[in-house]
Amino acid sequence: MKRSAEKGIEFGLAFSGLITILTTIGIIWVLISESWGFFREVPLSDFLFDTEWTPLFSQKHYGILPLLSGTFLTTIIAIITAVPIGIIIAVYLSEYAHKRFRRNVKPLLEILAAVPTVVYGFFALTVVTPFLQTFVPGLGSFNALSAGLVMGIMIIPVISSLSEDALYAVPKSLREASYGMGATKFQTSFKVVVPAASSGILVSIILGVARAIGETMVVAIAAGQQPTLTLDPRQAVETITAYIVQVSLGDVQHGSMEYKTIFAAGITLFIFTFLLNNISFWIKKKYQEKYE
Amino acid sequence: MSNVKRNRNIDTAFKYVGIFFTLFGIAVLFVFIINILIDGLTRINWEFLTNLPSRRASKAGILTAWTGTAWILALTALIAIPIGVAAGIYLQEYGRKNRIARIIELNIANLAGVPSIIYGLLGLEIFVRLMNLGGSLLAGALTLSLLILPVIIVATREALKAVPNSLREASYGMGATKWQTVWHQVLPAASGGILTGIILALSRAVGETAPLIVIGALAYVPFVADSPLDEFTVLPIQIFNWVSRPQEEFLVNGAAAIIILLLITFVMNGIAVYLRNKWQKKISW
């Protein structure tokens, strides 16, 4: 009697675990089945090489390149902002800062990560863009630069906290050997500790990139909704995520071409983040083996 | 000799650069909060909290938005907490260290990295369309539950992992079954850590915008929802809607709504940090 109850409970628990697998299967199935319909009407070569994305106009083009360029432009700006600052913060907190400073500052940095992204979008649109307009000529009220910068600020905690963990895990003996050779703290940090933690830092950067690619609200609010194939950060661009939001705001009928386009855009986004995530897992695994 | 001096100078310089950038991040946060307070604080009054949305900025309120957020929070908690904690218990206490366990682990790590908007597409197809729930509170809560499930599972596992084995063995020694051990000994001992993870996950759900837009949550809902099958809006969507309009007065409304949203997020995060500290202090196995 008791044993069967135990079995029942175990089964219930296992089923809950199974839901995570079902979620993944669901995501992949939904993306593939809906974009299947899309690719039956649009040849893959058009999707990959056409330079215009105008599914909402009467003259329809289905080239993903403008959305990709918008996504990469904002992501690159975010990464250029977040990586140096994130790593400097990580090195400072791990190698230089007093324990107490570290203990007080870390929760504050965590708050940066807890702020809802729609709030960052507001910040980009109403504070950063007007500020940038005072010295960047030709900056539109919607632009990739401001959205990218704010996304960078948002990603700083991701990079700083993961990098700091990696730096912290470097054995003390390495630092002591370096000091013993007469190196300064700066030399030790950047020539010994950072290289030793490089794979962990790389993981933090990759996860930062994945986060930036998938970020939606900041770019939907501040970067604009015009799919333009450009690398000029002063222009309005549209990212993959912003396009999905733009279509979802309207009333989309299931089975319509617009409905299918958001899944085609979605599967493109999913492939990129899936690859980045798994590269980071792979690096992490290799790195852990090295230290154990 | 000058070389040594130069190296020392670089060292000192970096110390200040480090302090500068660390404080820069925090300074941005402050600039940002002060700015929003200046923009929106005067707009907050009783009418703002109790008015329905309106085309006129001065009459528009956030009643439907904050009640929607409260609904979503409650429903998501009801769905995600039992499933997430159960899955965490299974993986940590019951799961065997075999290939399937590794696949599930990798799968959860992957799910945690899937952009939230993709969960929106999943919810749109499965909950809104196939299960025919429409753009309802329930569809939104189910979508967000899947989104925060990995966070709750990982937090549960971490908390369970921290419980020493001696506790389990003592319980088995008294003749307790596996589930009795988990339910009466391990789970209470890990409850602080699990609760922290749950609150952080829910605070994330409160701030999510994109997946709910995708499943069709509306910005303009002229009534307060009174069943899980009603259409809804939430604070972040209301903010997005106001911020997307060109008129200055709506931006002010947006700032005011942001203050309310941040208040909710910060209170939840504060509780989580408080619990974490308390829990960490209490534990000295």
Mutation to test the A interface, candidates B105, B118, B182, B183, most A Cβ within 10 Å: B118
Contact between B118 and A269 using a beta-carbon 8 Å cutoff: yes
Rounded to whole angstroms, how far apart are CA atoms B7 and B4?
Answer: 5
**Is pLDDT of B283 > 70?**
no
End-to-end CA distance of chain A: 45
Bigger pLDDT: A286 vs B16: B16
> What is the chain A residue with the closest CA to B258?
A119
Enumerate the residues of chain A whose CB falls inside 8 A of the CB of residue B17.
Answer: 88, 92
**Is pLDDT of A237 > 80?**
yes
What is the model's pLDDT at position B285?
A: 53
Give the H/E segment covering residue B88: helix B63-89
ipTM over 0.85: yes
In chain A, where the domains are located: 2-41, 65-291
* Contact call for residues A148 and A73 (beta carbons, < 8 A): yes
**For residue A169, which phi and psi values (nearest 5 degrees)?**
-80, -10
What is the model's pLDDT at position B58?
A: 78
DSSP class per residue in B239-278: HHHHHTSS-HHHHHHHHHHHHHHHHHHHHHHHHHHHHHHH
Rounded to whole angstroms, how far apart are CA atoms A132 and B251?
Answer: 19
N residues, chain B: 285
Task: Out of A273-277, B62-66, B97-101, B250-254, pick the least confident.
Answer: B97-101
Task: State the average pLDDT for chain A.
Answer: 90
* Contact call for residues A257 and A62 (beta carbons, < 8 A): no
Q: How far is CA B61 from CA A1, A209, B35, B223, in A?
A: 57, 37, 21, 12
> What is the chain B residue with the closest CA to A102?
B22
Rounded to whole angstroms, how far apart are CA atoms A67 and B117?
Answer: 15
Give the three-class secondary structure for A62.
strand
What is the model's pLDDT at position A58?
A: 80
**Is pLDDT of A36 > 70?**
yes
Contact between B113 and A126 using a beta-carbon 8 Å cutoff: no
Mutation to test the B interface, candidates A216, A274, A276, most B Cβ within 10 Å: A216
Q: Which is it for the CA torsion A18, A21, A27, A33, positive or negative?
A: negative
Mean pLDDT of A61-75: 93
From B104, B113, B206, residue closest to A21, measured CB to CB: B104
CATH topology classification for B46-282? MetI-like fold (1.10.3720)
Q: Per-residue confidence at B284, pLDDT binned at 50, 70, 90? A: low
What is the model's pLDDT at position B142?
A: 97
Task: Note the pLDDT tens digit of each residue in A182-209.
Answer: 899 999 999 999 999 999 999 999 999 9
From B14, B29, B90, residue closest to A16, measured CB to CB: B90
Q: Per-residue confidence at B276, pLDDT binned at 50, 70, 90? A: confident
From A157, A185, A244, residue closest to B117, measured CB to CB: A244
Task: Note the pLDDT tens digit of each residue in B59-114.
Answer: 888 889 999 999 999 999 999 999 999 999 999 998 877 777 788 888 999 999 99
In chain B, where the domains are located: 2-43, 46-282
- The shares of helix, strand and coil residues in chain A, as percent rounded to the nearest 5, are 75, 0, 20
Task: Note the pLDDT tens digit of each residue in B9-30.
Answer: 888 899 899 999 988 888 888 8
In CATH terms, the superfamily for domain A65-291 is MetI-like (1.10.3720.10)
Rounded to whole angstroms, how far apart are CA atoms B258 and A119?
Answer: 7
pLDDT > 90 fraction of chain B, expressed in percent and rounded: 56
What is the model's pLDDT at position A20?
A: 92
**For residue A176, which phi and psi values (nearest 5 degrees)?**
-65, -40
Mean pLDDT of A29-48: 92
Task: Out of A41-50, A190-199, B49-58, B158-167, pick the least confident.
Answer: B49-58
Q: Per-residue confidence at A292, pLDDT binned at 50, 70, 90? A: very low
Contact between A21 and B84 using a beta-carbon 8 Å cutoff: no
How close does chain A come to B227, measured CA to CA in Å? 23
